[in-house]
Structure 1
Amino acid sequence: ERKHHQTQTTCWDHPKMTELYQSLADLNNVRFSAYRTAMKIRRLQKALCLDLLDLSVAQNTFEQHKLNNNNQLLSVPDVINCLTSIYDGLEQEHKDLVNVPLCVDMCLNWLLNVYDTGRSGKIRVLSMKIGLLSLSKGHLEDKYKHLFSQVASAGDTCDPRQLGLLLHEAIQIPRQLGEVAAFGGSNIEPSVRSCFQLRCIQTVVQMTQQQQIRR
């Protein structure tokens, strides 16, 4: 049992997860927030063995489990079922690195801490996807594409509501690590507006350039 003093909530953590959180706290003396957050996420990623999980494998697992409805609520057994598929596959390739029961317990613990702070025993499909993809192995550009595809409409388009969903789920990871203040806080609306204002400016510039070319 772990008491979170800022929110006055009580969470149940696996003993190994408690050790991990203590080791993450040791990184708080890293001066720059971007480096500090990156180091925490890297340590978390390796502890959960998600640095071994390819983006495409994660996506294929979601499809195999028919996780197509992002608003669907998954119970703990549903999450365990998906995580077991992921870690069984990783164990086959990395027998010396992956302890399936421990990895499943740790990753479940982390997902619930990030996306089920009220401990309802359920998390949304989108939450689990964003959490796992964010910590998976892959080039940054490929990771952006996979994350974007989770909320995009047909034709690879994204409106402010969809982008807001993506940013909301993504920001929960640094929030849970105590680093959200360095990235604008939990309010994602300014970031969404900024993205679409920039897009509008780019569109106007492109239209102006096309008109000049025609002349």
Structure 2
Amino acid sequence: MKLLLVEDEPLLMEEMERYLSEQGYRCEKATNFAEGEEKIALYEYDAIVLDITLPGGNGLKLLELLKKQHKEAGVLIVSARDSLTDKLAGLGLGADDYITKPFHLEELNARVNAILRRKSFSGHNRILIDDLVIDTTAQEVRWQDAVIALTRKEYELLLYFIVNKNRVVSKQSIAEHLWGDHYDMADNYDTVYVHTMNLRKKITALSGIDYIKTVYGMGYKFTAP
């Protein structure tokens, strides 16, 4: 997944780039309006983290440009402002979400992933991987005609893996996704391990395929065509 970070505060940019890169994203940077304008015009991104207040222009103008060019990137607006007017303006121009400074990097990651998940599944209620069928309307998973009985957390975990297909995801990022601000409940990430192992066993039992690989010292990877 490729991200564009548009932010003029050097320390915040450094922190966001480091943290999101650790989560497996490929990050590009723009530190002012002109750089953001150039990158949006020339390149495609899966998501853009966009500050409103930038040297040389307003981030909302970049959002307008993005939509005029019919780019498909999801947009998370970041701003020190906490006014309803700014939020409505950004969302009205097509932004997917809005986060106010200061924020935790874990929350930033969770919101970016939520945007990517919505973009990945938009307009589709059936996801097909080999003979593995995920019905997002019924929230049901099948291998061919056989139902794979998953708990809610196992189902959410499977969708998270599919959104991040062929990319290593850490135990921390899984815990943040499944429990949000309460992810500390997964003490030492043992709960993440249990959920992941149960999901692997249930899918492998019917399919004979272990899609979820352990990447030692890093996390897990869902590998599929």
What is the TM-score normalised by the length of structure 1?
0.32
Which structure dedicates a bigger proportion of its chain to strand?
Answer: 2
What is the TM-score normalised by the length of structure 2?
0.31
